Amino acid sequence: MSKWHWLFSQLTRKLWFRTCLFALLAVISALVSIVLKPIIPASIGGVVGADAVDNILNILASSMLAVTTFSLNIMVSAYSSATTSVTPRATRLVMEDSTTQNVLATFIGSFLFSLVGIIALSMGAYGEQGRVVLFVVTLAVIALIIITLLRWIQHLSLLGRVGETTSRVEDATRKALESRINIPYLGANPWSSHIHLPQDALAIYPQDIGYIQHIDMQILDDYVQSIEGELYLACQTGAFVHPGQPVALLCSSHRNIETEALLRAITISTERSFDQDPRFGLSVLAEIASRALSPAVNDPGTAIDVIGRAVRLLAMWGDKTPQREEVIYPNIYVKPILTADLFDDIFNPVARDGAALIEVQLRLVKGLLALYQINKAIFSADVHRYVLIVKALAESQMVSQTDGDKLNEWIRQSGLLATDKSD
């Protein structure tokens, strides 16, 4: 995805963007009756009473304003609930909910439609024939409002809830993982450990401090190709960068290197994004579990639910087929995402914060065993490593000796510690 395509996709997720589109459509719908009135036969011009459309539009204008205000209050409450009950990092996904945006856009658009219709009627712009078209369009708007209200009532029972928000995070993480599984090196060459850079490689330092949200590989490849060089990306999407650490290393015989042209392809922001960063989604899931395990919340069930979601996501990573990726950008080298980093992002906070709870630790060990059984070649070393971590944390923090013995017995029966890490 190019930088401009990515920026446009970010723009379309904003609430105001969809609302403006619906509002513009509403204004056009109200004015189209003026354009179509010449084709309406005069014989049916008096079918609609003079006051029929006026009364309906007045009802719509007053009711839609109240419903919009009420819906905005509910939306703000849902955002606050997601922030306090789940994690602030997940609030963005709730704000980008398409159903909520469509509902608010429909209500505001209906309000503007009725307002423009009332103004045009008071100016006498419709005439007898135009009133017929306006009446038909108004009936269509009323049907749309009824359908939207029914969907809104059903959606309100889920909006901002912990389970629903967690599902949104899982879906966003799944999309990012699927994208990275299909294109593990973003279309570039793999930067393996046996590739050694020359000592005169030019380090490219960013000018901003923040997280990498997007990398436009096409812009990078075009510029590097123009100077007959090779570029080695030293960081992944989601990495925290600053002017003291290079984001890329450039090998080229050209002397005049425009580093600004390369930096324009790397979007840096104060927050991480779910799009190209599957590790961020796993980190947010870990935050949800950690918050649920805090003494103030005391909800181990949510942590257990997160472990199940983590197993589903990592199982996708283990199901990837080892096939060579088509190299689209031959002048760029990218390091892969390590399985160990994915494990650390999701399991380390859960193992630490749930160390004293036998139900959480048992579920975590069972999840690790499931991953080991799904793909021993990919997960064996990290599963073995985290079983040792879980065992050590439980020994140091678990209060009940009975619970500790139960966990150790289950680990012994699973055979994970007896398994050679090289399986």
Q: Dump the DSSP string for 308-376.
A: HHHHHHHHHHHT----PPP-SEEEEEEPPPPHHHHHHHHHHHHHHHTTT-HHHHHHHHHHHHHHHHH-H
The residue among 390, 307, 309, 306 whose CA lies nearest residue 356 is 390
Strand-pairing partners, residue 240, are 211
Sign of CA dihedral 288, 290, 293, 298: negative
Q: Which residue type, as a one-letter code, is found at position 312?
A: R
Show the DSSP H helices in 2-51 as ranges: 3-12, 15-36
Question: Which helix (H) or strand (E) element contains residue 241?
Answer: strand 240-241
Full-prediction pTM beyond 0.75?
yes
In this predicted structure, what is the pLDDT of residue 4?
Answer: 78
Q: What is the rounded distance in angstroms from the CA atom of residue 42 to the CA atom of residue 44?
A: 5
In DSSP terms, which residues pair with 190 in a beta bridge? Answer: 334
Integer Rg of the chain from CA: 29
Alpha helices by DSSP H, listed for 183-230, are 217-226
Instruction: Give the per-residue pLDDT at 403.
Output: 87
Q: What tokens were used for 317?
A: 């990573």
Q: What pLDDT sits at residue 422?
A: 42
Q: Taking each helix axis from N to C terminus, what angle separates 358-374 and 300-318, rounded to the nearest 10 degrees?
A: 10
Q: Residue 92 has what pLDDT?
A: 82
- Percent helix, percent strand, percent coil in the chain, to nearest 5: 65, 10, 30
Helix (H), strand (E) at residue 212: strand 210-215
The pLDDT tens digits along the chain (423 residues) read 677 777 777 777 777 787 788 788 777 877 777 776 666 666 555 555 556 777 888 888 888 888 888 888 888 888 887 787 788 888 888 888 888 888 888 888 888 888 888 888 777 776 666 777 778 888 888 998 999 888 888 888 777 788 888 999 999 999 999 988 888 888 888 887 777 777 778 889 999 999 998 898 888 988 888 888 889 998 888 899 999 999 998 888 777 778 888 888 898 989 888 888 899 999 999 999 999 998 888 889 999 999 999 999 999 988 765 456 678 898 899 988 899 999 999 999 999 999 999 999 999 999 999 999 999 889 999 999 999 999 999 888 888 888 888 988 888 888 887 654 444
CB 339 within 8 A of CB 421: no
Q: Which helix (H) or strand (E) holds 285?
A: helix 278-293
Contact 112, 23 (CB under 8 A): yes
- Interhelix angle 339-353/376-397, nearest 10 degrees: 20
Write down the pLDDT at residue 423: 43
**Spatial separation of the C-alpha atoms in residues 117 and 111, rounded to whole Å:** 10
